[in-house]
């Protein structure tokens, strides 16, 4: 068959950041198939130099507005590890709660506003306001509820205020715990309707086996905030050995680094977490997975969105558990942290190195810091989920295009856009961090 196709999606829409898809088919043969990252570099790693490691969560949160809480939590973990600060049990619980809110907020944005329009064949949620008013109202209501949860806990979702190195600058009152509980119960109902909605929608059928990578642990808890790094190929290393996992490499046409472990590429994100840790999900989340037909090991990347729905249920149920526990036990308000007091040398500082490894909505996020004896940055290295997924997406595209080559260019373009969107890429993040070294 001789067929020429040229697809050039300049500035992929409904993703965070700037990326292009380029596909060239000549005489029926796939010649070029790329996901190009064209976001302008912002050089975060360079300008962290000379700043206090205590400022890191505030500054690195600004890498990404969508995963701001995730960056903050990974940054805090790396900084505390470097400084030798051990968070209290209460702080850890509140951080787990914050991470659940982050997963919820980001997943709901992705599921409803970014993915759903493709499944019903419209270019954005705007036409859905007329055709599916109840669904749009529900989506916006769920977004608002998630935002309010973050507002109560950390001041706001985009660039959280009160989560800092050492703990929280403000702790929720008993009334605020009740307020959060009320909203989570509201979300429970909307989540049930979400499962019903997606039960009736069809995702493209496409499979490619790959190595899935996520945090793993030996406890009963679904690992999000802490763990070792594990893979569906049966490997496991500590977070300090992350470089053995990521093995970063560069391709000439993209400004972001890529990664591979035991295969040519690996994938991180909700589907990876589901494949590795599904048995630790809340029973209600497991039930939803069955309803939605999601079974481990699932190798259809389009179903990452379904894994996100399943995770949302887990996060809501586990948040309710945490809040009920805190409500009964009572919050210790003596643990409020005074921000930035260290900067004038009031808190002891030390030279050190630390790693933060956290499961954020799009997958495994690593921050690795090194500071001098005054707590001033020497080295920073961040490995972003989207960087870990880029090469895997491209290999998916390489397998997918020949399978759908008889379709029209518009259909092929849509399938590819949907594939990239399924991974929920965060392109702003992906170019902002590469390894840096102080000579």
Partner 1 sequence: MSKPKVAFFDFACCEGCQLQVANIGESLLDILDIIQVVEFREVMSEKWDGEFDVSFVEGSITDEHAVERIKKIRERSKILVALGSCATIGGVNGMKNCFPLEEVGKYVYGESYKFFPTLQTKAVHQVVPVDYFINGCPVYQPEFITVLKCILQGIPYYVPEYPVCVECKLNENVCMYDRGLTCMGPVTKAGCNSWCINNGNICYGCRGLTINPNTEGFKEVLKKYNIPEDFLMKKIEMYNKCRELDKQ
Q: Which stretch binds partner 1 (CB under 8 A): 15-23, 227-235, 356-364, 388-396?
A: 15-23
Helical spans, DSSP H, in 155-269:
174-199, 242-246
Half-sphere exposure of 15 (CA within 13 A, CB side): 30
For partner 1, the closer CB: 152 or 272: 152
- State yes or no: residue 346 binds partner 1 (CB under 8 A): yes
DSSP states of 136-177 as a string? HHHHHHHHHHHHHHHHHHHS-SSS-SSEETTEESS---HHHH
* Contact indicator for 59, 51 with CB cutoff of 8 Å: yes
Contacts of partner 1 in 151-180 (CB under 8 A) = 154-159, 161-162, 164, 168-170
Smallest distance, Å, CB 46 to partner 1?
4
Region of residue 28 (phi > 0: left; psi between -120 and 50: alpha; otherwise: beta): left
Question: C-alpha distances in angstroms, 219 versus 141, 189, 226, 311?
Answer: 34, 29, 11, 18
Question: Which residues touch 185 (CB under 8 Å, ≥6 apart)?
Answer: 320
Closer residue to partner 1, CB minimum distance, 126 or 290 = 126
Instruction: Give the bridge partners for 24, in sequence order.
Output: 6, 32
Kindly state the smallest distance separating residue 96's Cβ from partner 1, in Å: 19
Coil/strand/helix, residue 233: coil
Residue 428, interface with partner 1 (CB under 8 A)? yes
Q: Which is nearer to partner 1, 313 or 433 (CB)?
A: 433
- Nearer residue to partner 1 within complex by CB, 140 or 398: 140
Size of the site for partner 1 (CB under 8 A): 67
CA atoms within 13 A on the CB side of 276: 33
State which of residues 7, 78, 136, 419 lies at the interface with partner 1 (CB under 8 A).
136
Does 243 interact with partner 1 (rule: CB under 8 A)? no
Can residue 378 be called a binding residue for partner 1 (CB under 8 A)? Answer: no
CA atoms within 13 A on the CB side of 399: 15
Report the C-alpha gap between 104 and 215 in whole angstroms.
18
CB of 8 to partner 1, least distance (A): 14
Site for partner 1 in 42-101 (CB under 8 A): 42-47, 49-51, 55, 58-59, 62-66, 68
CA dist., res. 287 & res. 272, Å (int): 18
d(CA 184, CA 187): 5
Nearer to partner 1, 155 or 296 (CB): 155
Comparing CB distances to partner 1, the nearer of 171 and 281 is 171
Site for partner 1 in 253-312 (CB under 8 A): 255
Instruction: Compute the least distance from the CB of residue 61 to partner 1, in Å.
Output: 8
- Are β-strands 352-360 and 266-267 bridged in parallel, bridged antiparallel, or unpaired? unpaired
Q: Are 92 and 77 in contact (CB under 8 A)?
A: no
Q: Segment contacting partner 1 (CB under 8 A): 36-44, 174-182, 205-213, 317-325?
A: 36-44
Give residues 316-335 in contact with partner 1 (rule: CB under 8 A).
Answer: none
Task: Tell me the closest approach of the beta carbon of residue 224 to partner 1, in angstroms.
Answer: 22
CB of 366 to partner 1, least distance (A): 17
Shortest Cβ distance from residue 94 to partner 1 (Å)? 13
| Cβ closest to partner 1, residue 147 vs residue 291 | 147
Cβ–Cβ contacts within 10 Å for residue 82, how many?
Answer: 26
SS (H, E, C) 267-333: ECCHHHHHHHHHHHCCHHHHHHHHHCCCCCCCCCHHHHHHHHHHHHHHHHHHHHHHHHHHHHHCCCH
SS (H, E, C) 363-402: EEEEEEEEECCCCEEEEEEEECHHHHHHHHHHHHHHHHHH
User: In the bound complex, what is the minimum distance in angstroms from residue 431's beta carbon to partner 1?
Assistant: 9
Q: Which of 5, 37, 114, 303: binder of partner 1 (CB under 8 A)?
A: 114
- Select the residue interacting with partner 1 from 120, 185, 193, 250 (CB under 8 A): 250
When asked if residue 111 is in the footprint of partner 1 (CB under 8 A), the reply is: no
Contacting positions for partner 1 (CB under 8 A): 11, 13-17, 40-47, 49-51, 55, 58-59, 62-66, 68, 109, 113-114, 117, 123-126, 129, 136-137, 140-141, 143-144, 147, 154-159, 161-162, 164, 168-170, 250, 255, 336, 338-341, 343-344, 346, 428, 434, 436
């Amino acid at each position: 068959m001789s067929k020429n196709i040229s697809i050039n999606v300049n500035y992929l829409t409904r993703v965070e950041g700037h990326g292009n898809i380029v596909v060239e088919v000549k005489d029926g043969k796939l010649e070029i198939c790329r996901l190009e990252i064209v976001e302008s570099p912002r050089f975060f790693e360079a300008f962290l130099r000379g700043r206090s490691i205590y400022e890191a969560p505030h500054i690195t949160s600004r890498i990404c507005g969508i995963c701001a809480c995730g960056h903050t939590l990974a940054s805090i973990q790396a900084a505390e590890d470097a400084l030798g600060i051990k968070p209290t049990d209460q702080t850890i619980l509140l951080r787990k709660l914050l991470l659940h809110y982050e997963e919820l907020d980001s997943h709901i944005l992705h599921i409803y506003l970014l993915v759903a329009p493709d499944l019903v064949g419209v270019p954005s949620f705007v036409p859905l306001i007329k055709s599916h008013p109840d669904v749009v109202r529900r989506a916006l209501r769920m977004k608002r509820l998630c935002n309010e949860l973050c507002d109560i806990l950390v001041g706001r979702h985009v660039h959280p205020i009160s989560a800092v190195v050492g703990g929280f600058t403000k702790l929720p009152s008993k009334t605020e715990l009740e307020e959060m509980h009320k909203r989570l119960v509201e979300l429970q109902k909307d989540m049930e309707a979400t499962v019903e909605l997606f039960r009736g929608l069809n995702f493209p059928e496409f499979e490619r086996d790959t190595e899935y990578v996520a945090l793993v642990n030996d406890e009963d808890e679904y690992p999000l905030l802490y763990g070792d790094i594990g893979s569906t190929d049966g490997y496991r290393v500590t977070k300090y050995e992350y470089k053995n996992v990521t093995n970063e490499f560069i391709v000439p046409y993209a400004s972001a680094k890529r990664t591979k472990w035991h295969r040519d590429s690996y994938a991180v994100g909700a589907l990876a977490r589901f494949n590795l840790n599904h048995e630790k999900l809340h029973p209600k989340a497991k039930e939803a997975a069955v309803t939605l037909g999601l079974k481990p090991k699932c190798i259809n990347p389009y179903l990452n969105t379904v894994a996100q729905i399943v995770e949302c249920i887990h996060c809501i149920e586990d948040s309710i558990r945490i809040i009920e526990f805190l409500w009964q036990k009572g919050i210790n308000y003596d643990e409020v942290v005074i921000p930035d007091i260290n900067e004038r040398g009031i808190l002891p500082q030390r030279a050190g190195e630390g790693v933060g490894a956290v499961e954020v909505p799009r997958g495994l996020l690593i921050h690795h810091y090194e500071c001098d004896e005054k707590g001033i940055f020497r080295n920073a290295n961040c490995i972003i989920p989207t960087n870990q997924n880029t090469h895997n997406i491209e290999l998916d595209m390489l397998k997918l295009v020949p399978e759908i080559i008889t379709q029209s260019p518009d259909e092929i373009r849509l399938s590819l856009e949907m594939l990239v969107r399924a991974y929920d890429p965060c392109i702003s993040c992906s170019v902002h961090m590469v390894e840096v070294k102080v000579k």
